[in-house]
Structure 1
Amino acid sequence: MAEDPFVYVYVRVADEVEAEIRSGRLPRGARLPNERDMGTQYGVAPGTARRAVQELRDRGLVVTLPNKGTFVVAESSPTSED
């Protein structure tokens, strides 16, 4: 996938995580990595990872529980490849 130079990096990270959720690679109830680990995984600063998680919350895909972590609440999308 070509990177769009007019999209914020945090949106690009949120889009990648959303794709993982929709594909089922991150199922409902899965815990996301912490900000530092997510930053390392996606090659971004922890602050960018934090903003990506906020974007995912705004999209209704994850919830953050204080002192517990951030968890997927969305279901994966059914695929028509069967």
Structure 2
Amino acid sequence: MPDERVAGPIDATRPAYVYMQLADHVAARIEAGALRPGARLPGERDLAEEYGVAIGTVRRATRELRDRGLLVTLPAKGTFVTP
């Protein structure tokens, strides 16, 4: 029976860090307009569940996106797409 799973944006068999794959996918969503400036990202646990990764991976991807200037995190408020 063939594998019926649909390949998601994260592929652990690719020769790339999983956090970087996640960061690149979120960056692509921002660039495509699916995540607009000022939009609040889901919480870390929700993102981890959505992408099937560990919370630490989500944290590292978020840090990468902050370093790229695409996100800003406000303590006790959340993480937002930069305007």
| TM-score calculated relative to the size of structure 1 | 0.83
Q: Deviations over 1:25-71 (max 9, x none)?
A: 00000001111101011110111011110010011000000100000
Aligned length: 74
Corresponding residue for residue 11 of structure 1: 20
Q: What 5-or-longer segments of structure 1 have no aligned partner?
A: 75-82
Decide which structure has the larger Cα Rg and report it.
Answer: 2
Q: What 5-or-longer segments of structure 2 have no aligned partner?
A: 1-8
Corresponding residue for residue 52 of structure 2: 43
- 1:60 corresponds, among 41, 45, 69, to 69
CA RMSD, Structure 1 to Structure 2 (Å): 1.8
Alignment identity in percent? 59
Matches of 1:50 and 1:33 in 2, distance apart? 12
Moved over 4 A (4+): none
Question: Whose RCO is larger (CA < 8 A, sep 6+)?
Answer: 1
